[in-house]
Amino acid sequence: LIIRFEEQLPCRTGPQTQNARSNVEQNKECIIQISRYRFGLVISGLTKILQRVNELRPHGHDFEKNYYESLVIVLDTLEKCLSSQPRDAIPYDDVINVRLLLREICQFIDLSLDSAMANQIKNYASKVLFALSLNNFGVVFNRISARLAELGSSNTEENPDYSDIELMQHINVDIHRLVKLLVETNLKFRTLRKNAQIVLMTSLERAIWNWMETYPTEFAELQSTPNDDLTNCCEMMFEHLDGFAENSKKRAQVWPLQ
């Protein structure tokens, strides 16, 4: 089924007829159903398809369109497979598959192209990352944490890559995960250069908005029942931000997060 799914993608068949689109949708639905019982197998197969499609560098308008349509189909299928999983512990073998998928997805989150198609791919990749993080927050968090540690311990990178920090803009964050992100931020903030601090602040702001939008009940409950861990983390974060905002320009940069 996975092989047939790949063979029917537009990058393999060319422009699709209505019948071809219908076949792809049917295969997609079957794969989503199977993923509920064979999650690791399906995620591994779709990740490999994503790798192979991504290796097809688009050339010419028609092929570029087929290339992007194929990526959309695969990313949408991945998002639906991940979203259909129960919120339970993931077996270790599946965690390995998720790590491999995360590595691939990061490439699309950080696309440098600025076009309608590229932006569509970024949006779908963001949805995949959001769904992936629901059951696999630790995998994404470890990647973010490792990059913060690298940036904090090395001041020699000429053009440092901040994309792993920006992952927190796209993940599913409840109050416990938010506290974990804040704790990590407080530990690493002062070890980072200014540019990395700005990226971290921007990403953390988006993560907080994601939390409020995804878990509005948690946010509402805080108004009557404060969370001590969150309060302590925020107070420490504000101290870091006050130290960062030494002039009016930098105060404007930290104001949205405060």
What does the pLDDT read at residue 158? 75
Confidence band of 239 (pLDDT split at 50, 70, 90)? confident
Final residue before a domain boundary, out of 103, 120, 136: 136
88 in the same domain as 153: no
Confidence band of 246 (pLDDT split at 50, 70, 90)? low
98 in the same domain as 175: no
158 in the same domain as 78: no
Q: Is 30's pLDDT higher than 80? A: yes
226 in the same domain as 175: yes
151-194 pLDDT per residue, tens: 988 766 677 889 999 999 999 999 999 999 999 999 999 898 88
225 in the same domain as 200: yes
Confidence band of 256 (pLDDT split at 50, 70, 90)? very low
Final residue before a domain boundary, out of 71, 103, 136: 136
Domain count, the chain: 2
Which residue carries 């949408």 as its tokens?
Answer: 76
Final residue before a domain boundary, out of 120, 136, 152: 136
211 in the same domain as 126: no
DSSP letters spanning 130-167: HHHHHHHHHHHHHHHHHHHHHHHH----SS---HHHHG
150 in the same domain as 92: no
What does the pLDDT read at residue 23? 87
98-140 pLDDT per residue, tens: 999 999 999 888 777 667 888 899 999 999 999 999 989 999 9
Mean pLDDT of the chain: 86
18 in the same domain as 90: yes
56: Cβ–Cβ under 8 A, 6 or more apart, which residues?
11, 67
Rounded mean pLDDT, 215-228: 92
Structure-derived torsion over alpha carbons of residues 39, 40, 45, 46, reported in degrees to the nearest 10: 60
What does the pLDDT read at residue 255? 45
128 in the same domain as 149: no
The predicted model scores a pTM of 0.86
123 in the same domain as 23: yes
177 in the same domain as 153: yes
Range of the domain at 30: 1-136
Lowest mean pLDDT among 34-38, 124-128, 205-209: 34-38
174 in the same domain as 120: no
